[in-house]
Amino acid sequence: MRRFAILLVLVVALAALAGCGQKAAEQAQQAAEQAAEQAQEMAGEAAGALAEAVEVAAEGTEFDPPVPVEAIPAGAWYCEMDGKCHYARMTEGDGKCAVCGMDLKQKTAPMGEGEGEAAHEHGEEAAES
């Protein structure tokens, strides 16, 4: 009978330890999931911040790390590689990138913004005259 009692105490103790181990594993898994969610949110915020407009100096600005082309202001001359811009300037200059030597492209305003609307309105006024 005494052996049975000792065996019963050992089984209960092992079950309690196993239960604590499972709870700790569940808590660790939940913490890892929360950390992954926070990392994704921070990455999204960082990407959104990069897409915000950047300032470009007339004589040129080098971006390291490169920024999305969408962040470059309209009218700027920029060098694009893989959808990112690593150099831009507000004047055409020699038309070459100061970093890699590629030809610069001029960014135009998307239709419906700035020049596009002005040109559209001007066209309507000319038609009415």
pLDDT, tens only, 16-42:
766 665 666 777 777 767 776 776 666
What pLDDT sits at residue 12? Answer: 79
Q: For every residue of the chain, which 3-state class applies, written as one string?
A: CHHHHHHHHHHHHHHHHHHHHHHHHHHHHHHHHHHHHHHHHHHHHHHHHHHCCCCCCCCCEEEEEEEEHHHCCCCCEEEEECCEEEEEECCCCCCECCCCCCECEECCCCCCCCHHHHHHHHHHHHHHC
Q: If pLDDT is split at 50, 70 and 90, which confidence band does 44 have?
A: low
pTM of the model: 0.48
77-126: pLDDT as tens digits: 999 998 899 999 999 999 999 999 999 999 987 765 554 444 445 554 54
Q: Is residue 72 within 8 Å of 45, Cβ to Cβ?
A: no
